Structure 1
């Protein structure tokens, strides 16, 4: 796939996540937003707070590495690394059937300010859209991002963006099941 096609696809996914947050989650009552799932899983607010913790890590790194990278606007072909493909496939709700246990620093508390969590998630999605747009003029194969669970392992920016966005999709689907 070429860089622009991938980034356009990711941009559409983030737009979709943003619209869901604006239309569904932002207008939900506190009672709905904080209610645990029927299976005693996370509430809508907890799902989004979990995603916020990943955005806290990845978004500044994306911005920092993009800012340091020289422009390369041509639409070069991109290829996922083995680690990138496996990470994306395992997190994708359509291809990854395995459940994961969240790491300790990514487990949200049940008692949250739901509206603040949702507002922060919306802000992160808007910021992610800007990052994707900036990435269109960069060589996303050459930009390396350390992964949050093992900083010595790095994904190229294309893989890291795909991983973050598919992870968002997984938990937005989880949040939607609570509505």
Structure 2
């Protein structure tokens, strides 16, 4: 399993989240809600549905991460210079992480509890997503002060599988990147543009 410099990894993840917020504020929020609620094809998710799906994961994982970091702070667990990914954590992250060209390594159906409704409240979803990303940035900053390899977080699939806090951050942010690219494709389709030419570069150069 890969080993990372802990601080470098956390800084990279903070940069990834900041890029997602930049996409939200510069590409998505200026658009009319009608475009954001437009589905690219029957059964396809709109921009707002993609973000609503991500919000449902944030509602579970952000409190879990906060509790784990709080435990590390309470126990006085010092940060370690190196973080080694676990088997499950690395597998889930790689499964979610889009390729550089935006292609997905695997397709999957969203669990029942994380499927968005057909017409979510656009303003509420946008505000919630922005707030969750700010909270995620704060948690990443706190994570630099404790042992992200030792602290454990139960997955939303089953509490029997627990990931390290470091892998939970990696998985959660890779999942966000995956669906933000999906949201950008839906937006391009809604505005009459080529919705297939979306790569990871679109999450960096906005």
TM-score category (smaller protein): over 0.9
| Cα distance, 1:28 vs structure 2 | 1.4
Match of 2:112 among 86, 92, 104: 104
Is residue 2:24 matched to residue 1:17? no
Residue 68 of structure 2: aligned partner = 65
- Show the counterpart of 2:95: 90
Aligned counterparts of 1:164 and 1:88: Cα–Cα separation in 2: 8
Alignment of 1:108-119 (within 5 A): 108-119=116-127
Aligned residues: 179
Q: 2:83 matched to which residue of 1?
A: 78
Q: Secondary structure at the match of 2:82?
A: coil
1:38 Cα deviation after fit: 3.5
Q: Give CA-to-partner distance per residue, 1:138-173, whole Å, 9 cap, x none.
A: 100011000000111000001000000000000000
Q: Secondary structure of the residue that 1:155 maps to in structure 2?
A: strand
Give the alignment of 1:1-179 within 5 angstroms. 1-38=4-41, 40-70=43-73, 71-72=76-77, 74-94=79-99, 96-179=104-187
Q: How much is the aligned-residue C-alpha RMSD, in angstroms?
A: 1.4
Q: 5+ residue gaps in structure 1?
A: none
Moved segments of 4+, more than 6 Å: none
Greater mean deviation of Cα atoms: 53-62 or 29-38: 29-38
Q: In 1, Cα distance between the equivalents of 2:145 and 2:40? A: 42
Q: Which has the larger radius of gyration?
A: 2
Note the residue ranges of structure 2 that are not aligned, 5 or more in a row. 188-206
